[in-house]
Amino acid sequence: MKIKINSHATTVKPSIIREMKVLADSYKNVIDFTLGEPHISHHTYETIHEGLHQRIMRSPIGYSHQYGVLELREAIAEYCQTHYNQDYDPKSEIVVTTGVSEPISAVLKTILEEGDEVIIFSPSFTLYNSNVKMYGGKVVLYDMIANEMKVKSDVLSELITPKTKAILVNSPCNPTGKVFSKEDNEAIYECIKDHPIFVISDEIYREIVFDGVECPSLSDYQDLRDRMFILNGVSKSFAMTGWRIGYVLGPKEYIQIVAVVHQNFVASASTISQYATLEALKHPELTKNICSLYERNRNYVYEQLKPYFKQVVLPEGAFYLYLDASNYGLSSYEFAIELLKEQRVAVVPSVAFEAQDSGYVRLSYCCDFEVLKEGIARIQNFRKSL
């Protein structure tokens, strides 16, 4: 007996990032550059474990409030005010979530109605597109590569229609490492300021920037505050992916609805992980140390691979390198598969991040430096054989 299921759910495809990770795990002696998985999480744990242990011994570890542990929300509010000049009420405008993937889903579930359009800057993290589609929305892509990695007002304004419900910005960007400059943000602001459009700003990589580059936010425009959601967390900047703690900031009017959606998804974020995050936020030096390691890796991998590819996007932030392998007669997927088979190096093809196969592949370089060097040597050997 066949029973009809939700038609939107059937359009959502499995993550190609995860597919490549599973393939990588099926081989021996693999250098895995697929996931945005910092290899230095032990540094964080070594710093926070004593304080975390003491807190667990004296604090309840049952369900937390659906918004999250209040002490953590207060710490997040202070951290965001100090570091980003973002002012939010910890009692009513902050929800602690299960990583940042969950609030992407919760916010889109909250705001989208059937047929609503969401403008996304491509290449982009795969879960943006899949979540928009899952909730009956339509993805409208702004092609950053075709527009010289800049936001052009004339191009963006053409994408805005009466059905545009939201615009989603990820800066620094996964997978390119692009940081949206003040000029980029100004162009976005001018295009949307007179339209009833929500702003979703995914700032999970905000503290991972290089060469002294500033990472401004659309939150700098105070008149966008009443329709803006800011997503952030500790997975990347504190190397705490497995703890699964993120948060969403937004106006009380909408956050109270996001909180209900969040409650229906997961009830509440892990209480122990919230306590771990509370300890981590006491040590902002962790992010500085982590960023310096990533910058060294960025410099090395960029210089080593630049001669071997048609185009390499210099990352201004995050920890990914986006490489154009389109001039070697292989699609991005074919390139990734052949590299894995021949050299035991796993990367992610551009079809994970773009509507069409552009020939790019993404390499995550947030790993041990010696592992990175070995992986780059294998890629160089592979390239020589083509």
287-297: pLDDT as tens digits: 999 999 999 99
Amino acid, single-letter form, for residue 244: R
Question: pLDDT tier at 39 (50, 70, 90 boundaries)?
Answer: confident
Q: Between 41-58 and 285-305, two packed helices, what is the crossing angle to 10 degrees?
A: 160
Q: What is the pLDDT of residue 10?
A: 83
- pTM metric for this prediction: 0.96
Question: pLDDT tier at 119 (50, 70, 90 boundaries)?
Answer: very high
Q: What is the pLDDT of residue 124?
A: 98
Every domain range in the chain assigned CATH 3.40.640.10: 62-280
CB 335 within 8 A of CB 349: yes
Question: pLDDT tier at 385 (50, 70, 90 boundaries)?
Answer: low
Q: What is the pLDDT of residue 14?
A: 83
User: What values do phi and psi take at 370, rounded to 5?
Assistant: -70, -35
Superfamily grouping for domain 7-43+285-385: Aspartate Aminotransferase, domain 1 (3.90.1150.10)
Q: Which CATH fold would you assign to the domain 62-280?
A: Aspartate Aminotransferase; domain 2 (3.40.640)
Average pLDDT, the chain: 95
Q: How far, CA to CA in Å, does 157 sit from each of 52, 108, 117, 193, 235?
A: 49, 22, 14, 11, 34
Question: pLDDT tier at 302 (50, 70, 90 boundaries)?
Answer: very high
Every domain range in the chain assigned CATH 3.90.1150.10: 7-43+285-385
Which of 329 and 246 is assigned the larger pLDDT?
Answer: 246
